[in-house]
């Protein structure tokens, strides 16, 4: 069992029989909390997605600038943020995923796979900063993540220019069942 400490550091503990019961109760509680906290409108979901995108994109840029040194063997910042993604999925039903947009993904998990992700890549490549969709009582948002020349030293070492490139952050969150899908 892995959890996040108050400081966001992953902690691993071996499961116990008592943990199984408390895990089920925690899961039931999380599902209830997710439903309770789901956005009531598409406008609300869009606002939440934009705030999440800006926060995580900003955190990624600052972590790269202030803490990441390629030669130190540390986790890359995007990988570190995946611990946060996991907690958001468990606690709030919000799923987050990096996707490659302008270049080949460094991690196969970041290749666009769903129809939404493939369309998001097409839209982001066309110059738009975001793309959204509503399906199956979920709001889906993809926002552009700028890869500057500094990022490209790892992401595109054989590049022929230092022009900015892009990745994407996909955010998917549940909507309350009674949301009017035409609510814009």
Residue 98, strand partner residues: 169
- Beta-sheet strands, E only, within 111-152: 130-135, 138-147
- So what's the pLDDT on residue 61? 79
The predicted pLDDT at position 147 comes to 78
What are the sequence ranges of the domains in the chain?
38-174
3-class DSSP state for residue 143? strand
Closest CA to 29 of 82, 87, 90, 78: 90
What is the predicted pLDDT for the residue at 66?
75
pLDDT score recorded for residue 74: 67
φ and ψ at residue 172, rounded to 5 degrees: -130, 130
* CA dist 33 → 66, 78, 93, 109, 168 (Å): 35, 27, 9, 28, 28
Residue 148, pLDDT score: 62
Residue 127: left if φ>0, alpha if ψ -120 to 50, beta else—which one? left
pLDDT < 70 stretches in the chain: 1-35, 68-74, 148-164, 178-184
Q: What pLDDT does 4 receive?
A: 44
The percent of residues in the chain predicted with pLDDT above 70, rounded, is: 64
Structure confidence at residue 166 (pLDDT): 84
**CB burial readout 129-138, b (16+ within 10 A) else e:** ebbbebeeeb
Question: Can you tell me the distance from the alpha carbon of 152 to that of 134, in angstroms, rounded to the nearest whole number?
Answer: 33
In this predicted structure, what is the pLDDT of residue 142?
A: 98
Q: What is the pLDDT of residues 16-37, one digit of tens each?
A: 555 555 555 555 555 566 667 8
Does domain 38-174 fall under CATH 3.30.450? My reply is: yes
């Amino acid at each position: 069992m892995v959890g996040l400490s108050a400081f966001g550091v992953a902690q691993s503990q071996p499961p116990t029989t008592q943990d199984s019961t408390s895990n089920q109760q925690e899961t039931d509680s999380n599902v209830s909390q997710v439903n309770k906290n789901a956005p009531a409108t598409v406008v609300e979901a869009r606002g939440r997605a934009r705030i999440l995108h800006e926060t995580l994109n900003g955190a990624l840029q600052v972590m790269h600038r202030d803490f990441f040194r390629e030669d130190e063997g540390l986790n890359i910042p995007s990988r570190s943020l995946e611990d946060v993604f996991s907690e958001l999925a468990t606690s709030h039903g919000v799923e987050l995923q990096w996707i490659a947009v302008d270049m080949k993904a460094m991690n196969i998990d970041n290749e666009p796979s769903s129809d939404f992700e493939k369309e998001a890549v097409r839209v982001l490549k066309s110059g738009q900063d975001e793309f959204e969709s509503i399906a199956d009582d979920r709001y889906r948002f993809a926002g552009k993540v700028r890869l500057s020349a500094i990022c490209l030293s790892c992401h595109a070492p054989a590049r022929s220019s230092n022009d900015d490139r892009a990745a994407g952050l996909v955010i998917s969150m549940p909507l309350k069942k009674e949301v009017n899908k035409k609510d814009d």
